[in-house]
Amino acid sequence: MDFVSDSLSSGRRIKCLTVVDDFSKESVDITVDYGISGQYVTRVLDQVARFRGYPAAVRTDNGPEFTSRAFLAWTHKNGIRHILIEPGKPMQNGYIESFNGKFRDECLNEQWFESLSQARECIAHWRRDYNEVRPHSSLGRIPPARFAQQHRQRAGGAADSEQKQNFD
């Protein structure tokens, strides 16, 4: 997990929480808002867990959202290992850094958003394309969503409690 910031055409800042599954390379969620606290992050991850289950581990930087009491309590309550990268070592979370670079180049730098709702709509479209259309060489040249679906079918479904993911 990580954050990417941008601005609306009015100059108002927006923040994007990017969450990627380490195994399937799926963009689990990209949440867009004016501000995102540690408690907000936990609500997003609880919502994601309704479909995917809770991850075995999450890897984050040392940002205030990820070191907040709310976030740390959430990881403890849900039995999730919290892997903090060393300060100043973004490559310890290299996949999310690479993902965020693509996201910035292909989505955020392509246009000016007039409103938060327009930004959310455009970003959701980009995320669907990333997950459902783009083949990934590390996944056998298939899109992440198809790879994850095939894995769930082989593993006996999304409810298999033995199959926990790691989120970056």
Q: What pLDDT does 160 receive?
A: 46
- Compute CA distances 11 → 34, 122, 144, whole Å: 12, 18, 34
Q: What pLDDT does 168 receive?
A: 81
Domain 2-153 architecture: 2-Layer Sandwich (3.30)
Phi-psi region of 79 (alpha: psi -120 to 50; beta: other; left: phi over 0): left
What predicted TM-score, i.e. pTM, was given to this entire model? 0.90
- 3-class state of residue 82 by DSSP: strand
Instruction: Report the C-alpha gap between 72 and 160 in whole angstroms.
Output: 25
Q: What pLDDT does 2 receive?
A: 97
Residue 107 DSSP code: I
Q: What pLDDT does 161 receive?
A: 47
Say what percent of the chain tops pLDDT 90. 83
- Compute CA distances 152 → 20, 48, 102, whole Å: 17, 16, 27
Q: What pLDDT does 156 receive?
A: 76
- Count CB neighbours of 76 within 10 A: 10
| CA dihedral sign of residues 28, 33, 36, 41 | negative
CA proximity to 15, closest of 37, 40, 32, 38 = 32
CA proximity to 26, closest of 5, 3, 52, 6 = 52
Q: What is the pLDDT of residues 14-62, one digit of tens each?
A: 999 999 999 999 999 999 999 999 999 999 999 999 988 999 999 999 9
Which positions of the chain have pLDDT values less than 50?
A: 158-162
